[in-house]
Chains A and B, each alone.
Chain A
Amino acid sequence: MYPRKFDYTAPRTIADAVAALAGDEGAKVMAGGMSLLPLMKMRLLSPATIVDIGRIDGLDRIEDRGDHIAVGALVRHAETAASDLVQTHAPALARAASLTGDVQVRNKGTTCGSLAHADIAADQTAAVIALGATMVATGPGGTREIAAADFFVDTLTSALAPDEILTEVRIPKGGSGSAYDKLGRRGGRSDYAVAGAAAWVDKTNGSITAARVAVTGVGTKPMLVEAVGAALVGTDGSPEAIAAAAEHATEGVTLLEDLYGSEEYKAHLAKVYAARALTEALGG
């Protein structure tokens, strides 16, 4: 298929990019384009202007900032997946990035782009929520920080304003482990998530002191399921404790049936993958 006509601009600075967005209601940001271009080719989306941020310097880095790591807007999925920093401090995100799309998609698509697209069946969305990440949005008024758990508003809808760019995602260091696992649409872990869960845990002296689990693929948006973490805190993180906590995996989730799962099945899978992610996060 072939996109409709549009204007194209490739600013060199974030300020120029924000200005381009602010001055044009029909403008859309493009980083890797892996989510945007297929929609445009099928003419489901026809922005008047594409603001290609691909030529802005400095956005393609993963940085160690002491108490957190920062993943810039142009970091590709493949780079997120292969990064020592991400693997060390945010294994859930590294894993989710490695399970996003296929090799070519991971070579072009960006972690931040996928997050901003807010697909209900994406992988890294759940990871950043579970990791307690902070999303940094840059708009005409400067930058603002949005907690990952508040970032995903609805299907394909993030908390970004139309004139804002997700310039980086910050992931706090700490905790004793994190993990992501999913069932893919083609079975195994291939393709978009039928259901997936990311878990982050902190375990001190044999007791879980903090835990967060986020699910993706099962509902109207990727989301933090606070009840799972709450149920796990104070336990020893045993298989029984995990199983009991995972039972809460759909609390607050608006389940959504699709070609790959009924609501009942998705609810079941949310529990299965919450348990699997927790088990792996705890080194099991």
Chain B
Amino acid sequence: MSTTSVLGGVVRRKEDPALIRGEGLYVDDIKLPGELAAAFVRSPFAHARISSIDVSAAIAMDGVHAVYTADDVRHLGPVLAQVAVGTLRPPLADGAVHHIGEAVAMVVADDRYIAQDAVDAIFVDYDPLPAVVDLKAAAADEIQAHEGVSNVLLAWSGQDWWPGVTDELPDAKPAIEEAKARDDTVTVSLEMVNQRLIPTAIEPRAVLANWHAGYGSFELWSSTQIPHALAGAIAKIFGLPSNKVRVVAPEVGGGFGLKLNIYPDEILCCFASKELGRPVRWTETRREAPASSIQGRGWVGTATIVGTRDGRILGYELDAICDMGAYSQNFTVAIPLLGLFVAPGQYDIPTAYTLTCVVTNTPTTDAYRGAGRPEAAYYLERIIDRYAREIGMDPAEVRKKNFWQPDQFPATTAVGLTMDSGNYAANLDALLEKVDYEGLKARRDAARAEGRLVGIGLSSYVEVCGFGPSALAGLGFSWSEYGQPAAFNGSGVVRVNPDGSCTVIIGTGPSGQGHETTWAQIVSDQLGIELDQIEVLHGDTAESPFGVGTFGSRSLAVDGTATYEASARVKDKAAAIAAHLLEAAPEDIRFADGGAHVAGSPDKTVSWPEIATSAYQPHTLPDGMEGGLESTAVFSPGNATWPFGSHLALVEVDPDTGNVEILEYWAMDDCGNVVNPMIVDGQIHGGIAQGIGQAMFEAAIYDDDGNLLSSSLMDYPIPTAADLPSFRLDRTTTPTDVNPLGVKGIGEAGTIGSAQTIVNAVVDALAPLGVEHVDMPLRPRNVWQAINGARG
């Protein structure tokens, strides 16, 4: 099934044979002799003082080894965050709880059943306090989520929000106000909610910590996207050199950003293991996951466009309040900033923005697939649709009229960042041609004539990912507190072993993205070593080079490039060795068919095992050449990459029930060069499903007291196979020059492009009734309400 080219071709995944046999080892599958299990007492209140905790009954139970409260673990905190703005989380609630489900006490027992029994036997007296949940109320600071502390952390706004990276930007406001005042312009505005979401990786988080007193070291297995950062943090907290902390992220069952945090349970399991001299495990239950892991999104805001009646946008404003939850964790307050980066989307338009970060008595928000960028794309692409409808122009035409043009790249946007490459109109045209846009509109109109509610939704998007330059990481953030450098580097080790097989060790922490396969393709393409002779290792800090981790659609563009460069260096050295063995000039050496030959003399060959063996035998090397055949490369990108695309959906709404059915879904994405199309398509499929999940199904719903009403999968419905159509994908290819592979990122693109595509389609379906907007999720209830409201 593989095609002829390894790079850019489909190859079956190297990861799969173990996983499809049930042999993949996730943290909860790893058993250590003598291990104990932890469980947490969690707050039933969103905001309360803790007046007393009685652990006596629990500690007296058979099989219970320890119960810890804040007094025991205060010295371990607060939990480190890379962007340490706001109140950081204590390891266990200290004097007060600030969100539902906050951990108050930790039990360690013989097994998880007994640990849970002991949790039931712990009595906590709470003195409830008023909770703040609503974002506008939080911004008004009438009730404070933390007593005596303002809820408003900061607002990303203005012209100099990124000192040292961008020049001071011109203030877009005056021009926008002037445009609004003109007689020949139209101003449209919508207040919209981008609701709170629970990321819901199917593997709950799991931790297994083991302190080795004799070695003075920790081994920590964790379902994490950032093994190196976690090792750095644990080392820092326990006063150890980082080489005394080995973090292993084995198979990780989905991440989506929620495993991109240092969590108190990771610290506490280490602590308990050290205290008790036994391995300590904690496996998250689904019911506690909404509080024990981060949540995502949670914006309420207004988008405004002013433009001419013929479709030229003269200004875009975004003013939103963004929910941080009760504590700041790893990137919490930086998530809206990521949205700001892409606020103007694919458009060359003046943009003004204020993103106000507020604290509420809810679990922390942080990166969830897309992280700020889906929110930004949602507000922009919804209001563009609204504007197109207002001026009676086709939404595709309005978009094209305002796109950056291919000859304008690299393009510096209204927020002062420079986009690497783009060909937006061509991408949208390719989509429109693919779907037969005119035919589709005729189909919609014919259905409408029969009284059916059928709609077409379109959205373009631009993403920013694969971050660089590293200077960005160094600005105003507290990475060094974290025990790791402020960097967006990627790393890779390529080692050809004496038998000619190849070991690649990478700094990423994949959770399903297929790095083993993709990286092997990169190396195989360089060296001509067969894929089955290449082993890719990752996720173990004891063996891999320092790596930032897997998030932000960064791995291929940054770490993949490092591996590419390492393999290029190995190739150069191998060429020199082959030249020596073949008595030829290094520049005449060509690699193919599992070895090297001399250009023009295909019979003068030497195999990879021969080259590799020679590399480890100094007497067979050229004079003065160092032995061995490996290289470590670190790649530091000069810019982020900027993938883009356009999505289109056809939907039908049942007027009697508000039920939405997706009839067709197309995506035309552009992530630059593609290493493995099969894997790229898979990423898009999953991304779209999560965007549709937000658009139609999912919502973390809190009551006014901060109780989470959707704490299980019964009430937090993520899409099932029966809810989704097959997706129709295609791509355009606009390479980047930020890295030599010409690759961008694809992990989040599907999510960034999809939610508003669905909402635009549903609003289009309801447009004949006069509906202008429906907030997500488009559950039948909400859609019917809109229909009913419009019908009066």
Write the residues of chain A forming the contact surface with B, with a CB cutoff of 8 angstroms: 1-2, 4-5, 42-43, 102, 183, 185-188, 190-192, 194, 259-262, 265, 268-269, 272
B781 and A272 form a contact (CB under 8 A): no
Chain B residues with CB under 8 Å of A194's CB are 780-781
Chain B residues with CB under 8 Å of A191's CB are 717
B722 and A190 form a contact (CB under 8 A): yes
Interchain nearest-CB distance for A122 vs B (Å): 13
Q: Which of B741-770 contact A (CB under 8 A)?
A: none
Contact A43 B723, CB 8 Å, known A194-B781, A262-B781: no
Cα distance, A25 to B116, chains bound together (Å) = 25
Contact flags (1/0) for B97-132 with A, using CB distance below 8 Å?
A: 000000000000000110011001000000000000
Partner of B784, one of A43, A192, A265: A265
- B308 in the interface (beta carbon within 8 A): no
- B75 in the interface (beta carbon within 8 A): no
Q: Which residue of A lies closest to B111 (CB)?
A: A2
Q: Which residue of A lies closest to B718 (CB)?
A: A186
Chain A residues with CB under 8 Å of B120's CB are 4, 43
Q: Which residue of B lies closest to A275 (CB)?
A: B656
Cα distance, A55 to B780, chains bound together (Å) = 42
Chain A residues with CB under 8 Å of B191's CB are none
Partner of A268, one of B715, B722, B784: B784
Q: Which residue of B lies closest to A276 (CB)?
A: B656
Partner of A261, one of B116, B715, B781: B781
B717 and A186 form a contact (CB under 8 A): yes
A190 and B116 form a contact (CB under 8 A): no
Chain B residues with CB under 8 Å of A272's CB are 656-657
Contact A188 B285, CB 8 Å, known A1-B116, A272-B656: no
- B701 in the interface (beta carbon within 8 A): yes
Chain A residues with CB under 8 Å of B779's CB are 187, 260
Cα distance, A269 to B781, chains bound together (Å) = 10
- B2 in the interface (beta carbon within 8 A): no
Chain A residues with CB under 8 Å of B715's CB are 259
Chain A residues with CB under 8 Å of B285's CB are 1
Q: Which residue of A lies closest to B722 (CB)?
A: A190
Cα distance, A272 to B788, chains bound together (Å) = 14
Interchain nearest-CB distance for A212 vs B (Å): 22
Contact A190 B709, CB 8 Å, known A2-B113, A183-B780: no
Partner of A186, one of B287, B723, B785: B723
Chain A residues with CB under 8 Å of B656's CB are 272
Partner of B659, one of A187, A259, A261: A187
Chain A residues with CB under 8 Å of B784's CB are 265, 268
Interchain nearest-CB distance for B122 vs A (Å): 14
Q: How large is the interface on B (under 10, 10 to 19, 20 to 34, 35 or more residues)?
A: 20 to 34
A187 and B696 form a contact (CB under 8 A): yes
- B661 in the interface (beta carbon within 8 A): yes
Cα distance, A198 to B76, chains bound together (Å) = 59
Q: Which residue of B lies closest to A191 (CB)?
A: B717
Contact flags (1/0) for B266-297 with A, using CB distance below 8 Å?
A: 00000000000000000001010000000000
Cα distance, A42 to B711, chains bound together (Å) = 12
**What 7 A-B pairs come out closest when comparing CB atoms?**
A2-B113, A186-B717, A272-B656, A2-B116, A261-B781, A187-B659, A1-B285
Interchain nearest-CB distance for A8 vs B (Å): 15
Partner of A259, one of B287, B710, B722, B785: B710
Chain B residues with CB under 8 Å of A259's CB are 701, 709-710, 715
Chain A residues with CB under 8 Å of B263's CB are none
B112 and A2 form a contact (CB under 8 A): yes
Contact flags (1/0) for B361-389 with A, using CB distance below 8 Å?
A: 00000000000000000000000000000
- B660 in the interface (beta carbon within 8 A): yes
- B697 in the interface (beta carbon within 8 A): yes
Cα distance, A77 to B779, chains bound together (Å) = 27
Interchain nearest-CB distance for B742 vs A (Å): 40
Cα distance, A186 to B113, chains bound together (Å) = 33
- B4 in the interface (beta carbon within 8 A): no
Q: Which residue of B lies closest to A262 (CB)?
A: B781
A269 and B657 form a contact (CB under 8 A): yes
Interchain nearest-CB distance for B468 vs A (Å): 41
Contact flags (1/0) for B699-723 with A, using CB distance below 8 Å?
A: 0010000000110101101011011
Q: Which residue of B lies closest to A185 (CB)?
A: B717
Q: Which of B668-724 contact A (CB under 8 A)?
A: 696-697, 701, 709-710, 712, 714-715, 717, 719-720, 722-723
Chain A residues with CB under 8 Å of B720's CB are 102, 186, 190
Chain A to chain B contacts (Cβ below 8 Å), 12 pairs = A183-B659, A187-B696, A187-B723, A188-B659, A190-B723, A194-B781, A259-B701, A259-B709, A260-B780, A262-B785, A265-B784, A269-B657
A265 and B717 form a contact (CB under 8 A): no
Cα distance, A17 to B781, chains bound together (Å) = 44
B117, B661, B701, B780 interface centre (most CB from chain A within 10 Å): B780
Q: Which residue of B lies closest to A5 (CB)?
A: B117
Interchain nearest-CB distance for B418 vs A (Å): 42
Chain B residues with CB under 8 Å of A185's CB are 717
Chain B residues with CB under 8 Å of A1's CB are 116, 285, 287
Interchain nearest-CB distance for A87 vs B (Å): 22
Interchain nearest-CB distance for A159 vs B (Å): 26
Cα distance, A183 to B784, chains bound together (Å) = 13
Q: Which residue of B lies closest to A268 (CB)?
A: B784
Cα distance, A43 to B287, chains bound together (Å) = 11
Q: A187-B696, A190-B723 are in contact. List 10 more A-B contacts (CB 8 A).
A: A2-B113, A2-B116, A183-B657, A185-B717, A186-B697, A188-B659, A188-B661, A260-B779, A269-B657, A272-B656
Chain A residues with CB under 8 Å of B717's CB are 185-186, 191
